[in-house]
Amino acid sequence: MNKRGFGKLYQKNFDEKISVNEAIKEIECFLETISEAVIRDKKVKFMNRGTFEILDKKPRRIADPVTKEPKIIYPRKDVRFKLSENAKKSLWETR
């Protein structure tokens, strides 16, 4: 699903009349807030929904696929969303 399709879904589920562009702006604002909170606190938890958290990836050695020479992938940080057990159960019940 792309941003516009997500905006239309948000618009459909919203109680008041709202345009798709306004829905997209609200979604962007929410995602920006989540990003800032994860950067500041390293973890954002939504009860019965899931958790956004920063993972520290360790450095590792790989072989370059073209030249076959060994290389090191340097450590980095990733953001992960882990679905809560309650959300997993409700997801499987709807199927």
Over residues 4-60, the pLDDT tens digits come to 898 888 888 887 788 889 889 999 999 999 999 999 999 999 998 999 999 999 999
Say if CB 51 and CB 83 are below 8 A apart.
no
| 46 sits in which H/E element | strand 43-46
Which residues, 6+ apart, have CB-to-CB distance to 71 below 8 Å? 61, 62, 63, 64
Q: What integer pLDDT is reported at residue 79 of this predicted model?
A: 92
What's the length of the chain? 95
* pTM for this prediction: 0.70
